[in-house]
Amino acid sequence: MEISLIRHGKSRHTENGRITCSDFKKWIEKYDYTGVFEETTYPFWTVEKVTNARIVITSNLKRSVQSAMYINTEKGTISSPLFREIELPTCSKKLGLKLSPSMWSFILRLLWFCGYSNECESFTDAKSRAKKAAQLLVEYADEYKSVALVGHGFFNMLLAKELQKKGWTGKRRTGAKHWNCTTYIFLN
């Protein structure tokens, strides 16, 4: 049995100017709903794993659904909010500080790992959701033998850890690049 975890394609939302933390919340909303670029070619390994999967799953976010559609025009997909990316916390205070979106992402994710989860699920809750999602993937793999999930960077990372705890073997870490595919295998 195998489960392949794939990171979605590159977002069409490319605004990267310096913004305040409160503007970053709006930036994230655009990022979530803009979709991804259609590429002229996709990584061979990723296409092969999706093509050979007997079931393809996505989160319900547009960048995940659209990515699956671009590399998988033959099969339908199952979309579920269970596989959504982990949200970033928001700033509760108005700060005049302007940073790039990538810097806000870094700072807020770091704060999130330290326990700050204003207006988003906590690290503990995200790990709990990843445990449920990994169990569902294992159940799909038991039924279909080959599963592909087109998901998101941080959530795929948590899924990989949960799969490894369940005895699945594969790379210790999932790749952070868009269209990256990491496959986990379970031998009975």
Q: Can you give the pLDDT at residue 187?
A: 85
**Does the pLDDT value for residue 48 go beyond 80?**
yes
* DSSP codes of every residue in 26-39: HHHHHHHHH-BPPP
pTM attached to this predicted model: 0.93
> In CATH, what number does 2-185 get?
3.40.50.1240
Residues 79-125 pLDDT 10s: 999 999 999 998 877 778 999 999 999 999 999 999 999 989 999 99
Q: How confident is the model at residue 35 (pLDDT cuts 50, 70, 90)?
A: very high
Judged against a pLDDT cut of 90, whether residue 170 lies above it is answered with: yes
Among candidates 3, 38, 11, which has minimal Cα distance to 182?
3
| Domain boundaries of the chain, sorted by first residue | 2-185
pLDDT of 42: 95
Q: How far is CA 174 from CA 16, 121, 154, 164, in A?
A: 25, 22, 9, 12
